[in-house]
Amino acid sequence: MHQLTLANISKALAAKQFSVRELTSHLLTRIEQLDPQLNSFITLSKDSALQQAEAADELRSTGISAPLLGVPLAHKDLFCTEGVRTSCASKMLDNFVAPYTAAVVDNLNKAGCISLGKLNMDEFAMGSSGETSFYGASKNPWDTSRVPGGSSSGSAVAVAARLVPASTGSDSGGSIRQPAAFTGLTGIKPTYGRISRWGMTAYASSFDQAGFLAHTAEDCAMLLQATAGFDERDSTSAQQPVDNYVEALSQPLKGLRVGLPQEYFDSRLDSRIGDVVHTAIDQLKQLGATFVDISLPSLPHAVPAYYVIASAEASTNLARFDGVRYGYRCEDPKDLEDLYLRSRNEAFGEEVKRRIMIGTYALSTGYYDAYYLKAQKIRRLIKNDFDSAFKNVDLILGPTTPNLPWQLGSKVNDPVAAYLEDIYTVPANLAGIPGLSMPAGMIDGLPVGVQLLAPYFQEARLLQVAHQFQQHTDWHARTPAGF
Ligand code: GLN
């Protein structure tokens, strides 16, 4: 059962091949047996999952059948879930139970999904390895001495190790696409505003976007279908009609024009990853796509601009964690100042503190123009680069990451080295366009991802191209040894 994709689980449940309860207890047992070596879950919701499973079985027995009814998922631990702890992998929120459920999770619940629990991540989604988690790093099931990517690290690991068929994640600078690439999954970051941010803990609000990690584009399409759409509770939610993502999958690729940005294939890129990308290009050519060279000239400035703006936004968003209203409070504060200082100092990890300091500095009176304003101008240049590229092409293709997953611990003392690994993913967040990573090869037993980028609200095109690719390849169907 755990080898099935979400779409096939949906079919098997409809055909009564097994019950939701059987499937749920099977997965819960796997999590209990296998997750101690992977650390992908922060909270396991065993009892409530089994209760939800029974309710789903009952609905199915009365003849009700919705595609996601009884499909088990798990959620990144920054989505608020009523009655279940939402920690953001921080000591600050170790005991926090939200009084409401995030829009994404709520929509999935309403569609009938079962929640198995909450998944490990970098603290407050700051990181690209999972190592900034208060609960310890998640391990990559393809090689447990390596990082699975981040910040949606547990979301990637749990799906790659087949503990759950799909998961939610969030992507502010690559946190869905990069871990998907590092663990052999399909991960989609929709257009900014496509899915409501309501109830998703804010890191960098102008970048944050919820999305999914699954084995196939088809699975991502089913999840996006259930969650995309306007939500008046999120002022940046888009009032744009929702496409039929599932129907679009079967469209052929003939006539598709794809741009290859030369800046994505320069000396930063591990040449073996470049070879994998070129093999994928050849396969897509056979399916009818044509390729043209393009340029995104502002790309070299994307990482510095992202880290200035994201840190600035993080510094204001995280001001709410002050030891007064909720979250961690230090013991015996002397006065209010001491309460603020010690609560924040004792409960935030190093990376979070670093970003609060960078952000506060960049926003301070004397430096605002030199850093924050400058970064915003670069952000506009990057958006302009994409706008002009998409005048000539339907889609942009390149590697998701410049390198393979690195050894756990090898970059913890060099944050800038880790930041530079985000070079290919942050441009989509700066511009707000949708992106997808799909597995396209293996090097030394480690998965490699190819990234697709599309114009605003063209998620259907991303999913269609990935689906057509997956009809002719089997990289998405592989399982790491031992899982
Ligand atoms: N790796 C990036 C960072 O550390 C992206 C994080 C994210 O997308 N949440 O900020």
pLDDT digits (tens, 9 = 90+) for 406-419: 999 999 999 999 99
- Geometric angle at alpha carbon 417, from 414 and 418, rounded to 5°: 90
State the average pLDDT over residues 213-235: 98
pLDDT of residue 400: 98
- Geometric angle at alpha carbon 350, from 346 and 354, rounded to 5°: 115
Q: Which member of 152, 153, 172, 175 is catalytic?
A: 175
Is the Cβ atom of 143 under 6 angstroms away from ligand 1?
no
Is the Cβ atom of 176 under 6 angstroms away from ligand 1?
no
Q: Which atom of ligand 1 is nearest to the CA of 307?
A: 10
Q: Which member of 128, 133, 151, 298 is catalytic?
A: 151
Is the Cβ atom of 273 under 6 angstroms away from ligand 1?
no
Homologous superfamily (CATH) of 6-257+433-477 is Amidase signature (AS) domain (3.90.1300.10)
**pTM of the predicted protein model:** 0.98
| Residue whose pair of structure tokens reads 């942009």 in the numeric block | 396
Going from the C-alpha of 296 to that of each of 48, 278, 381, the distances in angstroms are 48, 19, 9
Is the Cβ atom of 35 under 6 angstroms away from ligand 1?
no
| Number of separate helices (H) and strands (E) present in the chain | 16, 11
Query: How would residue 22 be classed by pLDDT, with cut points 50, 70 and 90?
Result: very high
State the average pLDDT over residues 421-434: 98
> Three-state SS string across 247-270, please?
HHCCCCCCCCEEEEEHHHHCCCCC
Contact 422, 149 (CB under 8 A): no
User: In the structure encoding, which two tokens stand for residue 142, read together?
Assistant: 């393809």
| Kind and range of the H or E run holding 396 | strand 395-399
Is the Cβ atom of 173 under 6 angstroms away from ligand 1?
yes
Identity of residue 38: L
User: In the structure encoding, which two tokens stand for residue 95, read together?
Assistant: 């005991």
State the average pLDDT over residues 209-222: 98
Tens of pLDDT along 74-99? Answer: 999 999 999 999 999 999 999 999 99
**Greatest extent of the chain over all pairs of C-alpha atoms, in Å:** 70
Over 90: is that where the pLDDT of 65 sits?
Answer: no
Distance 125 CA to ligand 1 centre (A): 6
| Kind and range of the H or E run holding 60 | helix 46-61
Q: Whose CA is nearest to atom 2 of ligand 1?
A: 173
pLDDT of residue 147: 98
Contact 157, 38 (CB under 8 A): yes
Mutate to test the pocket of ligand 1, among 90, 121, 172 (most ligand atoms within 8 A of CB): 172
Q: Which member of 40, 76, 237, 315 is catalytic?
A: 76
Query: How would residue 333 be classed by pLDDT, with cut points 50, 70 and 90?
Result: very high
- 7 by DSSP, 3-state: which? helix
Residue-averaged pLDDT of the chain: 97
Is the Cβ atom of 225 under 6 angstroms away from ligand 1?
no
Is the Cβ atom of 422 under 6 angstroms away from ligand 1?
yes
Over 90: is that where the pLDDT of 476 sits?
Answer: yes
73 Cα distance to chain centroid: 14
152 tagged catalytic: no
Distance 169 CA to ligand 1 centre (A): 12
User: In the structure encoding, which two tokens stand for residue 284, read together?
Assistant: 């897509």
Q: Whose CA is nearest to atom 5 of ligand 1?
A: 173
Which stretches within 111-162 are classed as H helix? 153-160
Distance 383 CA to ligand 1 centre (A): 19
Is the Cβ atom of 172 under 6 angstroms away from ligand 1?
yes
pLDDT of residue 100: 97
pLDDT of residue 180: 98
User: What is the Cα Rg of the chain in Å?
Assistant: 21
Beta strand 114-119 with 72-76: parallel, antiparallel or unpaired?
A: parallel
| Side-chain-facing half-sphere of 415: CA atoms under 13 Å | 12
Mutate to test the pocket of ligand 1, among 90, 119, 128 (most ligand atoms within 8 A of CB): 128
Mutate to test the pocket of ligand 1, among 79, 155, 175 (most ligand atoms within 8 A of CB): 175
Is the Cβ atom of 174 under 6 angstroms away from ligand 1?
yes
175 tagged catalytic: yes
Q: Whose CA is nearest to atom 10 of ligand 1?
A: 126
| Kind and range of the H or E run holding 187 | strand 186-189
76 tagged catalytic: yes
Mutate to test the pocket of ligand 1, among 124, 133, 151, 168 (most ligand atoms within 8 A of CB): 151
Q: Where are the domains of the chain?
A: 6-257+433-477
User: In the structure encoding, which two tokens stand for residue 344, read together?
Assistant: 């924040």
Distance 175 CA to ligand 1 centre (A): 5
